[in-house]
Structure 1
Amino acid sequence: MSDATEPDQDCLLEARSIGRQTSAGECLVRDLSLKVHPGDRIAIVGPTGSGKSLFLRSLAMLDEIQAGDILFQNAPVADKDLPAYRSQVVYLQQRPVLIEGTVESNLKFALQFHINQDKSNNVDAVLELLSSFERPNGFLKRKSSALSGGEGQIVALLRALILAPQILLMDEPTSGLDPQTTRQFEQIIQQWLETSNQRPAFVWITHDHTQAERVATQIMTFPAGTLAPVPTTA
C-alpha cells in the first residue's frame, strides 16, 4: 500500500478542506475536499444556499478562500499562474455573458488573449459540435443580442470548449433552459468528452437529481460534501 502522504500523480485538481466565510465571520462552506482526475464526470447537488456555487467558484479560483488549499497538478497555483490555470480550468456560469457582435466573434473572443493564442486550431472541431445544435447555417452570423437564453448558453459553452479545458466547471448551466435545449447542451458535452484526445473532466452543479444521474459518474452531495459513485441500473 502506498503512503497516504504521497501525491496522487493522476490528480488534476484537488481541493483540501476548503473553508469560506463572510466578512463578519459567518461560515459559508466548511472543510470541503474534492479530487478531480482525467475523465471524471462529477455532479454537485444540494439545496439552495448549501454552498455549491461558492465551492465551485473556489475551485475556479474566482473567490478567495479562508481555509484549505487548492492544488492543480499537485502544486499550489501562484497569482502569476492564474491566467494559465483559467485557460485549463474553465468556469461556465449560470447566465451566459456574451460580448456585442456575432456568434462567431463570441466564439473566438477568448483567443485574443495571449495565453490562448495557440488554441485557434480548436475552432473547427468545436464548430462541428454545433451541428448537434439544430440551428440554420447563418447562426454564426447572428447578433448575440438576438439570441434566446438557451442559444446564448450554448454559445457560451462552445466558447469555453474552444479553450480545450482539462476541467470544465459548470454552475447550473441548464437551469433556465427548456428540455430540448437542455438535452442539446448535454449532447454537446457528451460529444466533447468522446472526441477529445486529452480525457477532460467536468464538475457540474445541478438542482436536478435526475440530470445528475444522467450526466455524471460521481455525485457530490451538499451540505455534507460527500462524494459517491452514481449507482448503475441492472
Structure 2
Amino acid sequence: MSTLADTPLIRTTALTRHDPVRNTTLLHPSTFILSGGQRVAITGPSGSGKSVFLRALALLDPVDDGVIQWRGRAIARGGIPAYRRRVAYIAQRPAMLDGSVEDNLRYPFSLKVYRDARFDRERVGELARRAGRDTDFLDKRASELSGGEAQIAALIRVLQVDPDVLLLDEPTASLDPAAALEIEALVSAWFDDGHGERASIWVSHDPAQAKRVGERQLVMTAGTLS
C-alpha cells in the first residue's frame, strides 16, 4: 500500500497540446513523474516545446488531452489557486510592479490565496543576502533594477511563500554569467533550507548549467520529452 511519501508531487499522463493555426503538435503525449527531492533539468533546441511543457504544468496554458495530478489527485477547477501556491512558475523576464522591491515582495500577501501568511522583512532580507544583496536591496526602485536584480526579486517573491515545486523557465537566459550564478545559488539555498518534499524543473538552453542545476537530465525534441 502506497503512502503519501511515496506519491509523486506531480504526475502527467499523455499530456498533449496542438497548434490548430499551424496544424502542428507542440507537445506529443507526455508522461512524466516528479517526486519530492528531485532536481530536473530539461534542455533542447529553441521551439522544441520546453516552455510549452512547463507552462502546461503551471496551468498557465490549456492542453488538448491528458491529465495532470498533484499528489495523486487530478486538479479540479476550484483547486487551481491552491495548486499555484504550491507549484510556482518563474518566467524568463519577470513582471515587476511600480514601487520598491519591498512593495513587490509584499504584493502576494494582498491575494486571497495567501491570506493566512504574513510578510517577513527579516526573512526576505536573508534571501537577498543569499543572492549577494544587502538589505538595502529591498528599498531599491523596481524601475532601477538590472535584469539580474529583477530576477532575484521575482524569485524571492516566490520563495518567501514556501512553494513545494519551482518551475524555472530559462530564468537566466537573458542574464550575464555572474547574475545567472546568483540565481542558481538562491535556488540551491532554497533546497538546502527545506526538506525532501521540495522539487524543481529547470528549463535551460545551456547544457553546462543544466548539469549544475539538475540531477535528472531530460531532453525535449520536437515536442517529445525523453
- Band of TM-score, shorter chain: over 0.9
Residue 115 of structure 1: how far off its partner (Å): 1.3
Give the 5 Å matches for 1:145-224. 145-197=143-195, 199-223=197-221, 224=224
Residue 105 of structure 1: how far off its partner (Å): 1.0
State which drifts further: 125-134 or 213-222.
Answer: 125-134
Mark the runs of 5 or more structure 2 residues left unpaired by the alignment.
none
Kindly indicate whether the alpha-carbon contact (under 8 Å) linking 1:45 and 1:220 is maintained by their aligned counterparts in 2.
yes
State whether structure 2 residue 10 is matched by structure 1 residue 13.
Answer: yes
- Give the match's secondary structure for 2:197: coil
State which drifts further: 211-220 or 17-26.
Answer: 17-26
Within 1, Cα distance between the matches of 2:73 and 2:135? 44
Mark the runs of 5 or more structure 1 residues left unpaired by the alignment.
227-234
- Give the match's secondary structure for 2:68: strand
Within 1, Cα distance between the matches of 2:120 and 2:33? 27
In the TM superposition, what whole-angstrom CA distance separates every residue of 1:129-168 from its partner, at most 9, and x where no partner exists?
2113333432111110111111001100110111211101
Residue 17 of structure 1: how far off its partner (Å): 1.3
Within 1, Cα distance between the matches of 2:164 and 2:144? 31
Q: Which residue of 1 aligns with 2:55?
A: 57
Within 2, Cα distance between the matches of 1:145 and 1:122? 23
Equivalent residues, number: 223
- Give the match's secondary structure for 1:90: strand
Kindly indicate whether the alpha-carbon contact (under 8 Å) linking 2:109 and 2:119 is maintained by their aligned counterparts in 1.
no
- Give the match's secondary structure for 2:174: coil
Kindly indicate whether the alpha-carbon contact (under 8 Å) linking 2:16 and 2:64 is maintained by their aligned counterparts in 1.
yes
- Give the match's secondary structure for 1:119: coil
State whether structure 2 residue 25 is matched by structure 1 residue 27.
Answer: yes
Within 2, Cα distance between the matches of 1:123 and 1:56? 30
Match of 1:73 among 68, 71, 74: 71
Within 1, Cα distance between the matches of 2:213 and 2:164? 17
In the TM superposition, what whole-angstrom CA distance separates every residue of 1:49-83 from its partner, at most 9, and x where no partner exists?
10000000000011111011100111111111111
Residue 175 of structure 1: how far off its partner (Å): 0.5
Within 2, Cα distance between the matches of 1:27 and 1:139? 44
Kindly indicate whether the alpha-carbon contact (under 8 Å) linking 2:90 and 2:169 is maintained by their aligned counterparts in 1.
yes
C-alpha RMSD over aligned residues: 2.0
Q: Which residue of 1 aligns with 2:98?
A: 100
Aligned residue identity for 2:70 = F
Kindly indicate whether the alpha-carbon contact (under 8 Å) linking 1:12 and 1:74 is maintained by their aligned counterparts in 2.
yes
Within 1, Cα distance between the matches of 2:157 and 2:20? 34
Within 2, Cα distance between the matches of 1:54 and 1:8? 29
Q: Which residue of 2 aligns with 1:82?
A: 80
Residue 108 of structure 1: how far off its partner (Å): 1.6
Aligned residue identity for 1:67 = D
Kindly indicate whether the alpha-carbon contact (under 8 Å) linking 2:42 and 2:203 is maintained by their aligned counterparts in 1.
yes
- Give the match's secondary structure for 2:115: helix
Residue 196 of structure 1: how far off its partner (Å): 1.5
